[in-house]
Amino acid sequence: MTALQKTTSNAGAPEIKRAEQPLLQAGLRLKHIEEDRTVPMYRTSIATE
């Protein structure tokens, strides 16, 4: 199963975000999707809008 196919799987399956879809369609591999993991992130004290 490819990462793109995960968008059409069961309700409990991870959803591919719209920002990632063009990257996947272009053939780029995203490690966090291939390994079915949460996207890397961190906390910061920098204010956002």
Residues 6-18: tens digit of each pLDDT: 544 445 555 677 8
Q: pLDDT tens digits for 23-35?
A: 999 999 999 889 9
Rounded to whole angstroms, how far apart are CA atoms 36 and 8?
A: 15
User: pTM for this structure?
Assistant: 0.48
Burial class (CB within 10 angstroms; exposed 0-12, middle 13-18, buried 19+) of 23: middle
